[in-house]
């Protein structure tokens, strides 16, 4: 039977799916728009499942600061091109609204919400694996100040909660956290395994120098001290004024840091390097 352009357009507007997919669904459903919509919706779940194993290491971050909580969430796509697609941006905005209205403490909470159906539909529309990868939420007392910094490309962000000071100070330190990626608040808070691993590396380097034992121990001690100052937030030089430490900045403003979090899109995901020819071949499949 003949499928009218108006029917395809209507289904396209209802589903957000590509025109050719809409036309095929209408043909399969003999022109019934409602049945075609149901078919596309059921297909979206299948396509989402098939694409779920593909690496999604690009995307964006979204942030929200409420009265007593602040949230950062990572939304992944396979490519930066998809992350700039209007449909992806629209979905990201839906996620932003969700975390603004709901305190999400675990990523599974949003994965089991109404957002999941919208994600599956987006996979069908864009043709890439779209994932809600991780969420970080900080709860705080209403008397505290929270600040967030989001890089211009929405791929790097930080949130800081402080006692004392003001939201402007919290935002400045959030910018610093995003830029310098501290591993801990102070040297005393660093994970013992991380410290032991660094110490083992420095000891190996010292042994290769062939110097006496006491000198090697001093070399290791010096390197560990420098490492701790570089990865501990309070001892780092402030991003806006490297001559003062974060601790000094806090002392000047009668403030202290209660908690902080930083996310970078795709961090920790192993991406297989592909040649341009391989990428084209994959797209043509």
CATH number of the domain enclosing 43: 1.10.8.10
251 in any annotated domain? no
**Residues 215, 207: Cα–Cα separation, whole Å:** 10
Closest residue by Cα to residue 98 from 125, 137, 49: 137
- Read off the pTM: 0.75
* Residue 12 · residue 22 · CB < 8 Å: yes
End position of a domain, from candidates 139, 174, 194: 139
End position of a domain, from candidates 95, 115, 139: 139
Find the domain containing 31 and state its range: 5-51
- Crossing angle for the helix pair 33-51 and 19-28, to the nearest 10 degrees: 120
281 in any annotated domain? no
Site of tokens 């992350």: 83
**Could you give the residue ranges of the DSSP H alpha helices within the chain?**
5-15, 19-28, 33-51, 80-83, 86-101, 107-111, 115-126, 167-180, 192-209, 213-231, 246-252, 276-284
Domain count, the chain: 2
70 in any annotated domain? yes
End position of a domain, from candidates 80, 111, 139: 139
User: What's 31's DSSP letter?
Assistant: T
CATH number of the domain enclosing 94: 3.30.479.20
* Residue 82 · residue 58 · CB < 8 Å: yes
The tens-digit pLDDT sequence of the chain (285 residues) is: 788 888 888 877 776 666 777 888 888 888 888 888 777 766 654 454 445 556 678 999 999 999 999 999 999 999 899 999 999 999 999 999 999 999 999 999 998 899 998 998 898 888 888 999 999 999 999 999 999 999 999 999 999 999 999 999 999 999 999 999 999 999 999 999 999 989 898 888 888 888 888 888 899 899 999 999 999 999 999 999 999 999 999 999 999 999 999 999 999 887 665 555 565 555 555
């Amino acid at each position: 039977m003949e499928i009218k352009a108006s029917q395809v357009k209507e289904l396209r507007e209802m589903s957000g799916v590509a025109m050719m997919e809409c036309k095929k669904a209408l043909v399969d459903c003999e022109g019934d728009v409602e049945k075609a919509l149901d078919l596309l919706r059921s297909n979206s779940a299948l396509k989402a499942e098939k694409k779920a194993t593909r690496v999604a290491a690009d995307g964006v971050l979204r942030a929200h600061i409420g009265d007593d909580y602040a949230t950062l969430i990572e939304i992944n796509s396979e490519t930066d091109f998809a992350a700039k697609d209007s449909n992806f941006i629209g979905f990201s905005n839906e996620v932003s609204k969700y975390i603004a209205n709901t305190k999400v403490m675990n990523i599974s909470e949003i994965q089991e919400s109404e957002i999941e159906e919208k994600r599956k539909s987006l996979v069908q529309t864009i043709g890439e694996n779209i994932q809600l990868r991780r969420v970080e939420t900080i709860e705080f007392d209403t008397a505290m100040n929270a600040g967030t910094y989001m890089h211009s490309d929405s791929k790097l962000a930080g949130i800081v909660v402080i006692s004392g000071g003001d939201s402007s100070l919290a935002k400045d330190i959030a910018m610093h956290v995003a830029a310098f990626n501290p591993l801990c608040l102070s040297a005393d808070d660093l994970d013992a395994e991380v410290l032991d691993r660094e110490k083992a590396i420095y000891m190996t380097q010292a042994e290769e120098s062939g110097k006496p034992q006491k000198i090697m121990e001093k070399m290791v001690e010096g390197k560990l001290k420098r490492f701790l100052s570089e990865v501990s937030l309070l001892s780092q030089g402030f991003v806006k004024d490297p001559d003062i430490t974060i601790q000094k900045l806090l002392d000047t403003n009668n403030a202290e840091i209660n908690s902080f979090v930083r996310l970078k899109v795709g961090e920790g995901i192993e991406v297989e390097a592909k040649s341009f020819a391989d990428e084209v071949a994959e797209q043509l499949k």
